[in-house]
């Protein structure tokens, strides 16, 4: 994200303060070397300290846990609870976790992503990262998942900057520079660059959308550029089919594990179907909704969401996750998130306990990786 203050101009300030330019309010000279933030302390990696957040949100945590404990006693049962539900049983589980130290995630964050790199990594680059993780308390899957989170954040937060260069990109494109080369030069996802170029050519959003859906509509060069951009872009235009299939399989393994322990629950697909019929669309659909009292590490868990990635302490992913989990907390109280590839020790979401997949048998899932 660009610093909005760095380029701001104050209207008429030069006329009113011409004599005092370069002086501080107490009459001394300002240190010109500080202009542009040259001596600012580097921003700390990750979010606010987890310990600080736990203390700051202690009341909210207590309230969400109270709501989870009392959800079966409400006059109006929460969403997803079937009528005539038998009295809940109580299940308690110890679930050991091994969070990734923040210093290791920070170190890897500086190495997993390079300027202009938005596609799948070749074998040589993967081997390079595999050697790097050997010296840190992260494995290769975690490092690659961290890279994905950083790419997503870079894409979203950097879109305004990229869009401001659209005219320049179109000029170079007309001069024969390829979209992939422009992507590397301007450090933006190839498909985003291509869309911005088409928009700068005065193509409507509808025309762009339909043309990319049916590339046969494109001219010979544009079709060639589209195919190259799509192949080089993991962020803006990637086939999610295989990833979604693995995510679904991970959710099933997790739900099967709890059912094998005798816990009554509902799964996401049946809740999606039910809410579509009753409400017209899915509203609140965690992967697992417990119909019994479940305590994990002595904390009440009313629902669980399974994430087939690493829980990075990356702002964009953290905010996106918190927004989703807040909907579940509002309805059922405190819950949990289980990350297939573990999570950062500094990651925090009020009302959610964070778990890794260490207690699960992932043999079937590992075979498909």
Residues of the chain above pLDDT 70, percent? 86
Distance CA 229, CA 177 (A): 13
Region 320-330 average pLDDT = 96
Region 192-197 average pLDDT = 96
pLDDT at 4 over 50: no
| Residue pLDDT, tens place only, 22-47 | 444 444 444 444 545 455 666 778 99
169, 201, 231 — which closes off a domain?
Answer: 231
Answer whether 97's CB lies under 8 Å from 358's CB.
yes
pLDDT at 9 over 50: no
Residues 69 and 171 occupy one common structural domain: no
Strands (E), the chain: 90-93, 265-267, 288-290, 293-296, 299-300, 303-307, 335-339, 352-356
Residues 193 and 276 occupy one common structural domain: no
Strand pairing category for 303-307 and 299-300: unpaired
| Residue pLDDT, tens place only, 82-113 | 988 999 999 999 999 999 999 999 999 999 99
Question: Residue 243 — very low, low, confident or very high, per pLDDT cuts 50/70/90?
Answer: confident
Evaluate whether residue 214 is within a structural domain: yes
For the chain, give the longest Cα–Cα distance.
81
| Residue pLDDT, tens place only, 125-159 | 999 999 999 999 999 999 999 999 999 999 999 99
Evaluate whether residue 10 is within a structural domain: no
Residues 205 and 248 occupy one common structural domain: no
Amino acid 8: pLDDT: 37
Stated pTM of the model = 0.83
Amino acid 29: pLDDT: 47
Q: What is the dihedral of CA 152, 154, 160, 166, to 10 degrees?
A: -90
174, 196, 231 — which closes off a domain?
Answer: 231
Residues 356 and 267 occupy one common structural domain: yes
Which of the two residues, 242 and 287, has the higher pLDDT score? Answer: 287
Answer whether 80's CB lies under 8 Å from 289's CB.
yes
Residues 361 and 244 occupy one common structural domain: yes
pLDDT at 15 over 80: no
Residues 246 and 316 occupy one common structural domain: yes
pLDDT at 57 over 50: yes
182, 212, 231 — which closes off a domain?
Answer: 231
Residues 76 and 177 occupy one common structural domain: no
When divided into structural domains, the chain yields a total of 2
Amino acid 369: pLDDT: 66
Which of the two residues, 366 and 335, has the higher pLDDT score? Answer: 335
User: Is 262 buried (19+), middle (13-18) or exposed (0-12) by CB count in 10 A?
Assistant: exposed
Strand pairing category for 303-307 and 288-290: antiparallel
Q: Round the average pLDDT of the chain to a whole number and report it.
A: 88
End-to-end CA distance of the chain: 34
Amino acid 18: pLDDT: 44
Amino acid 242: pLDDT: 58
Amino acid 339: pLDDT: 98
Evaluate whether residue 320 is within a structural domain: yes
pLDDT at 238 over 60: no
The boundaries of the domain holding residue 187 are: 159-231
Residues 211 and 282 occupy one common structural domain: no
Closest to 107 (Cα-Cα) out of 148, 135, 131, 141: 135
Question: Residue 349 — very low, low, confident or very high, per pLDDT cuts 50/70/90?
Answer: very high
Evaluate whether residue 140 is within a structural domain: no
Per-residue tokens: 120:
């799948």
Residues 75 and 172 occupy one common structural domain: no
Distance CA 65, CA 77 (A): 17
Tally Cβ neighbours within 10 Å of residue 195: 22
Evaluate whether residue 154 is within a structural domain: no
Residues 310 and 363 occupy one common structural domain: yes
Evaluate whether residue 106 is within a structural domain: no
Residues 331 and 251 occupy one common structural domain: yes
Closest to 146 (Cα-Cα) out of 335, 328, 313: 313
Amino acid 365: pLDDT: 86
Can you spell out the DSSP letters for 94-148?
-----PBPHHHHHHHHTTS--TT--SPPPHHHHHHHHHHHTTTT--HHHHHHHHH
Q: What angle do CA 114, 116, 121 make, to 5 degrees?
A: 65
**R_g of the chain, CA atoms, integer Å:** 25
Evaluate whether residue 17 is within a structural domain: no
**What is the residue whose two structure tokens read 């959610």?**
352
Distance CA 357, CA 217 (A): 46
Residues 245 and 335 occupy one common structural domain: yes
């Amino acid at each position: 994200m660009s610093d909005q203050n760095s380029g701001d101009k104050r209207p008429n300030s030069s006329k009113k303060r011409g004599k005092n330019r370069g002086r501080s309010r107490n009459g001394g000279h300002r240190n010109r070397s500080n202009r542009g933030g040259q001596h600012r302390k580097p921003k700390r990696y990750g979010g606010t300290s987890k310990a600080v957040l736990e203390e700051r949100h202690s009341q909210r945590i207590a309230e969400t846990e109270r709501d989870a404990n009392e959800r079966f006693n409400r006059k109006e049962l929460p969403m997803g609870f079937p009528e005539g539900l038998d009295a809940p049983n109580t299940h308690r589980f110890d679930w050991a976790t091994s969070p990734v130290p923040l210093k290791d995630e920070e170190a890897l964050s500086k190495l997993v992503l390079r300027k202009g790199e938005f596609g799948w990594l070749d074998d040589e680059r993967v081997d390079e990262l595999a050697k790097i993780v050997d010296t840190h308390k992260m494995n290769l899957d975690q490092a690659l998942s961290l890279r994905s989170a950083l790419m997503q954040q870079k894409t979203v937060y950097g879109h305004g900057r990229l869009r401001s260069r659209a005219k320049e990109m179109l000029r170079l494109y007309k001069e024969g520079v390829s979209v992939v080369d422009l992507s590397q030069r301007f450090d933006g996802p190839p498909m985003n660059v291509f869309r911005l170029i088409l928009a700068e050519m005065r193509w409507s959003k509808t025309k762009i959308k339909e043309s990319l859906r049916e590339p046969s509509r494109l001219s010979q060069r544009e079709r060639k550029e589209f195919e190259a951009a799509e192949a080089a872009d993991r962020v803006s235009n990637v086939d999610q089919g295989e990833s979604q299939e693995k995510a679904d399989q991970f959710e099933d393994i997790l739900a099967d594990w709890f059912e094998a322990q005798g816990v009554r629950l509902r799964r996401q697909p049946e809740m999606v179907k039910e809410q579509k019929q009753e409400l017209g669309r899915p509203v609140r659909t965690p992967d697992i909704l417990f119909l019994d009292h479940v305590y994990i590490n002595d904390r009440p868990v009313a629902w669980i969401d399974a994430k087939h990635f690493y829980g990075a302490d990356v702002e964009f992913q953290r905010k996106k996750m918190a927004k989703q989990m807040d909907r579940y907390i509002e309805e059922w109280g405190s819950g949990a998130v289980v990350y297939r590839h573990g999570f950062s020790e500094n990651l925090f979401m009020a009302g959610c306990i964070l778990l890794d997949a260490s207690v699960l048998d992932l043999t079937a899932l590992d075979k498909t990786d």
